[in-house]
Amino acid sequence: MPVFLADVKGDLSGVAEPGTANDRVRSRAAEVHQQWTPTGFPAEFHALGGAGHGIPLRATVTGFGPLLLSKVLRLNPTQEQSLSLIFHYADTKGLELVDLKDLRAVVAFLTSDEGKRELKGIGGLPAATAGVILRSLTALEAQGMADFFGEPESDTGEFPRRAGDGRGVVSVLELPAVQGEPRLFSAFLMWLLADLFHDLPEAGDVDRPRPVFFLDEAHLLFDDASEAFLEAIAQTVRLIRSKGVGVFFVTQSPKDVPADVLGQLGNRIQHAPRAFTPDDQKALKATVRTFPESAYDLGELLTGLGTGEAVVTVLSERGAPTPVAAVRLRAPESLMGPVDAAALDRAVRQSPLHARCAQAVDRESAYERLTGARDVQSEETAPAEPRDAARTSRGRRRGGEEPSAVEQVLGSGAFRSLARSMGTRLGREITRSLFGTARRRR
C-alpha cells in the first residue's frame, strides 16, 4: 500500500535500500518461519520547504489556513480568532496569501486608518493583537521557516501512488533539519492530512486503505493545542476513514493522545512500556485499562516485551475490538538505519516530482502588488499633489521618519483599487475545510 511517514530522527530512509543479513535477522526469520530476502522498497523523500535532503513540500498561507498557522505562531485563542478574521477578510476580497510577506502586508493594511474601517462592522483588529501576530511572523522568518510557505504548493493527491511493479510508494518526510520546530512540522502533517481529506472522494468500506499515514512523535500535535485544533483533529480522524485513508499516531504512551482522538482509533500496536518510577507504574496501569479484556496479565506481559515484540488488537469485521494478541514482528527486509546523503540526493533527483517542485516560484501576489503600486497615482488621491510633496507631508506626520514602501501604498487608496481588481479576478470567499485549510483546485 502507498505509505506516508514522518522521519523525525532521520533513521527511516533505509526503507529504500536492501537490508543486510546478520545473526539477529537470521534468528528472527527462523523463529517466525519467514523466507527472508533483502529488499528495498520504492520510496520518495521530501523535506519541508527544501530544508534537508528531499523534494520541497510547501503550502501557501491561504491553503494552510488560520487554525494551523495559529498553532505554529503560538497564538492564544483570542489571537487565533483575530487571525481567522484576517483570513476571512483576505478570502472575501479574493486576496490569496501565498507567503508570509503577503500576510504581513494585509495585517499592516488592516491596522491602518483606512483598514480599520474595513473591519469595523465585524469586530475590528486590535493593534496589540496585530503586533503579536507580526512579531510572531518575524520570529518565524528569523528561524528560517519562511521557505515552507510559498509555491508551487504540494499536491497531496500525488502521495497515494504505486511504482511500476505495483508496490505502493513510501513517501518519507525527512525532518531532522527542523527538529527544533516541532509545532511547525506537526501542523504541516495535519495540513497534509486535511488536504488529502478535502480532495479524496468517498470510498466506503474498502479492503485496504488507499494510503496510510504514520505520524511519528504524535504528542507534538497535541502539545499546547487549542480546543478548536483538538476538535478538528478528532473530526478529521473520524471522517477520513470513509475516504479510504489509514492513520497511525506513533508515540511513547497512549496518554499522549487525547481521549477524543484515541477513541476514534481502531487498531492498536503496543510495544514495551518501561516502568522504572512510580509515575511510570501509574502510566502503565492506565495503559492496561485502555485495552479490551484479555486472557493475558497485560501488566506483566507489556513490561516483559523485547525488541521486535508487541501486543496487538484490531477491529473485527463486525467492528468490535479483537482479543489482545502477543506477536513478534517479521525480520526487516530493508535497511534498518539511514542511507547516506549522496544516495538521498540521487533518489530525489530521479523522482518525477523533482522537476515541478524543486524550484520555488515567487509570483506576483499581494505583497508584490502593494509594493509595486507605490508609483501608481490612485484615482482617489488629489492629482495636483506631487508625489514628492505627498511623501514629504506623510513624513512630517510621522515626525520626519521616511515611510516604507508598504506604508506609502497602504496610506493611499491604491489598496482598495487592488482589492477590487483582485476580488473580480479571483472570485469570492474561499470555502474552507475542518482545519480551515483551503486549496485552489488545479
Per-residue pLDDT of the chain (442 residues), as tens digits, is: 999 988 888 888 899 999 999 999 999 999 999 999 999 999 999 888 877 788 888 889 988 889 889 888 889 888 999 999 899 888 887 778 889 989 998 888 888 887 787 777 667 788 899 999 999 999 888 877 788 898 888 888 787 888 889 999 999 988 887 777 777 777 788 888 888 877 788 887 788 888 898 888 788 778 777 777 788 788 888 888 888 888 898 888 777 888 888 877 888 898 888 777 888 788 788 888 878 878 888 888 888 888 889 999 998 888 788 889 999 999 999 998 888 888 888 888 888 887 777 777 777 666 666 565 444 434 444 444 444 443 333 344 444 455 554 454 444 444 444 444 444 344 445 667 666 787 554 4
Distance between start and end Cα atoms, the chain: 26
For residues 310 and 396, state if they share a domain. Answer: no
43, 167: one domain: yes
Residue 364 lies in a domain: no
Residue 438 lies in a domain: no
CB atoms within 10 A of CB 240: 21
Domain-located, residue 369:
no
User: What is the rounded (10 degree) CA torsion for 404, 406, 408, 414?
Assistant: 170
Q: Are 221 and 236 in contact (CB under 8 A)?
A: no
pLDDT number for residue 377: 36
3-state secondary structure of 371: helix
Same domain, 279 and 199: yes
Answer yes or no: do 128 and 165 share one domain: no
Q: Is 167 left (phi over 0), alpha (psi -120 to 50) or beta?
A: beta
Residue 228 shares a structural domain with residue 174: yes
Position 373 in a domain: no
Number of domains in the chain: 2
Nearby residues of 382 by Cβ (< 8 Å), 6 or more positions away: none
The answer to pTM > 0.85 is: no
Q: Do 303 and 194 share a domain, yes or no?
A: yes
Same domain, 261 and 397: no
Residues 137 and 80 occupy one common structural domain? yes
The answer to whether residue 367 is domain-embedded is: no
| Residue 214 lies inside a defined structural domain of this protein | yes
Where helices occur in 143-277 by DSSP H, the ranges are: 182-199, 219-222, 227-240, 259-262
| Residue 172's CATH number | 3.40.50
Q: Which residues contact 3 (CB under 8 A, 6 or more apart)?
A: 168, 169, 170, 171, 211, 212, 213, 214
Give how far the C-alpha of residue 166 lies from the chain's centroid of Cα atoms, to the nearest Å.
Answer: 28
Q: Which residue range forms the structural domain that includes residue 287?
A: 3-58+151-329+339-357
H helix intervals, 223-364: 227-240, 259-262, 278-289, 298-303, 341-350, 354-357
Domain membership of residue 366 (yes or no) is no
User: Cβ neighbours of residue 342 under 8 Å, at least 6 residues apart?
Assistant: none
Cell readout for 355 is 522537476
Same domain for 161 and 235? yes
Rounded to whole angstroms, the Cα distance separating 205 from 150 reads 36
Q: What's the CA gap between 200 and 210, in Å, rounded?
A: 10
| Of residues 225, 217, 186, 179, the one with CA closest to residue 75 | 225
Give residue 26's pLDDT.
93
Q: Which three cell numbers stand for residue 41?
A: 522498497
- Please check whether residues 137 and 200 belong to one and the same domain: no
Within this chain, do residues 54 and 67 fall inside the same structural domain, yes or no?
no
Q: Is residue 371 part of a domain?
A: no
Buried/exposed 366-378: b ≥16 CB within 10 Å, e otherwise: bbebbeebbeeeb
- Is the distance from CB of 202 to CB of 237 less than 8 angstroms? no
Cβ-based neighbour number of residue 253 at 10 Å: 14
Q: Which three cell numbers stand for residue 21?
A: 543479513
With H, G, I as helix, E, B as strand and everything else as coil, classify residue 112: coil
Shared-domain flag, residues 293 and 403: no
Q: What is the Cα–Cα distance from 52 to 175, expressed in whole angstroms?
A: 7
In this structure, the strands spanning 268-270 and 325-328 are unpaired
